[in-house]
Amino acid sequence: MTVESLLSVLADGKFHSGEQLGETLGVSRTAVWKQIKKVEGLGLVLESVKGKGYCIRGGLDLLSRSAIQSGLASEARDLLGDFLVLGTVDSTNTVATDGAQGDVIVAEQQTAGRGRRGRQWQSPFASNIYLSLVWEFAGGAAALEGLSLAVGVAVVDALAACSLGGVALKWPNDVLVDGRKLAGVLLEMSGDAAGPCKVIVGVGLNVNMPAAPAIDQPWVDVNTLAMGTVSRNQLVIALLNQLLPLLSHYERSGFASIRERWLALNAFQGEQVFVTLGDEVIVGHMAGVDGSGALLLDTVSGRRVFNGGEVSLRRVTSGA
């Protein structure tokens, strides 16, 4: 018996006695008890009441490989490679480094989730979405400028398909609602600048974040915005329905065809912002992005252009 099989029974939020769990899962009560300890180790709150057994209050919304696969639109299904739905991993982007074209990895938990600029990405169990997708491009990394912004637009479209609106993008690809971070995108590329290269597209989406995670910026999750529970499987379906076709068309169509949409979603358009580039802090007005997705900043000494990488952007008046 694995901890996953125990969780699939406890996911209904009801009480199950040790004896009943042992019978359902075909193992001894001692084996059940050992797995119960592992459940607690995942950071889940397990209630134990004498005479009633064990229960996870409110139940769990677990990822289901079959539910996701059968919910995909036909274009996404045709583009999907190997599809892994995992329990605990260090980072889905790390697992994806061994992957090939169209492979997708989702996990219930990451122990070393990575954010942009060396930050950690909080990844508690069965709470949010941690998804990585592998795509191979023949034309080299240079042809992929703007891809990370395009991924942000695809995430916004996926959220809209789940009836979540009011979403904006902070350059290059933070997904915000009212200045609070809902999702983040981390692209990692390997291979040739001019020839074949492989891109791992990592998306982290806050869905049902437990109280008080250690996040050093304003954040929000899907369930708070929806004022109810949105199925994580539906959210993964919506993300894959947008991301797989985007990646398959991107090399041909590039960022230019998506630029107007990105600008319409720009959280800071025309606002006074500051850009941090290493030790340098530059203040100016956010003038949008160019045809390759580079940030345009109007400063007192003229227009400056910034590419992705280690640049960070902040609104002058708020913490977002």
Residues with a catalytic annotation lie at 116, 181, 314
* Number of C-beta neighbours around residue 187 at 10 A: 19
- Which of 240, 190, 185, 294 minimizes the C-alpha distance to 73? 240
Residue 22 or 102 having the CB closest to ligand BTN: 102
Nearer to ligand BTN (CB atom), residue 21 or residue 129: 129
When the beta carbons of 56 and 183 are compared against ligand BTN, the nearer one is 183
Q: By C-beta, is 71 or 204 nearer to ligand BTN? A: 204
Binding segment for ligand BTN (CB under 6 A), chosen from 15-23, 39-47, 128-136, 149-157, is: 128-136
The whole-angstrom separation of Cα 225 and Cα 171 is 22
Q: How far is the CB of 312 from ligand BTN (least distance, A)?
A: 10
Q: Can you spell out the DSSP letters for 132-157?
A: EEEEEESS-GGGGTTHHHHHHHHHHH
Contact in structure between 69 and 87 (CB atoms under 8 Å) = no
- CA 253, CA 154: separation in Å to the nearest integer? 14
- Which one of 103, 108, 174, 221 is in contact with ligand BTN (CB under 6 A)? 174
**Which x/- pattern, by CB under 6 A, does the window 180-219 give for ligand BTN?**
----xxx---------------xxx---------------
Token pair of 300 as six digits: 């007192």
Q: Which is nearer to ligand BTN, 97 or 299 (CB)?
A: 97
Count of residues that interact with ligand BTN, criterion CB under 6 A: 20
Q: How far is the CB of 218 from ligand BTN (least distance, A)?
A: 13
Closest by CA position to 319, among listed 250, 273, 270, 263:
273
What is the H or E stretch that residue 22 is in? Answer: helix 18-25
Q: Least distance to ligand BTN from the beta carbon of 246, Å?
A: 17
Residues 221-280 that bind ligand BTN (CB under 6 A): none
- What single DSSP character describes residue 114? B
Selected range binding ligand BTN among 11-19, 85-93, 276-284, 301-309, rule: CB under 6 A: 85-93
**Interface pick for ligand BTN out of 122, 127, 132, 148 (rule CB under 6 A):** 132
Kindly state the helix (H) or strand (E) to which residue 55 belongs, with its residue range.
strand 53-55
- Pair 250, 145: CB distance under 8 Å: no
Specify the DSSP class assigned to residue 219.
Answer: B
Other Cβ atoms within 10 Å of 55 Cβ, number: 18
Cα gap 288→266, rounded to integer Å: 7
Nearer residue to ligand BTN within complex by CB, 106 or 294: 106
Closest distance between ligand BTN and the C-beta of residue 47, in Å? 29
**Distance between CA atoms of residues 279 and 289, nearest Å:** 23
Report how far residue 277's alpha carbon sits from residue 292's, in angstroms, rounded to the nearest whole number: 19
- Residue of minimal Cβ distance to ligand BTN: 184
CB 129 to ligand BTN: min, Å? 8
Nearer to ligand BTN by C-beta: 53 or 204?
Answer: 204
Among positions 87-116, residues that touch ligand BTN (CB under 6 A) are: 91-93, 110, 113-116
What is the nearest approach in angstroms of ligand BTN to the Cβ of residue 111?
10
Per the structure block, which two tokens stand in for 84? 């892994």
CB of 108 to ligand BTN, least distance (A): 12
Question: In this structure, what DSSP letter does residue 278 have?
Answer: T
Residues of this chain that bind ligand BTN (CB under 6 A): 91-93, 110, 113-116, 119, 121, 130-132, 174, 184-186, 202-204
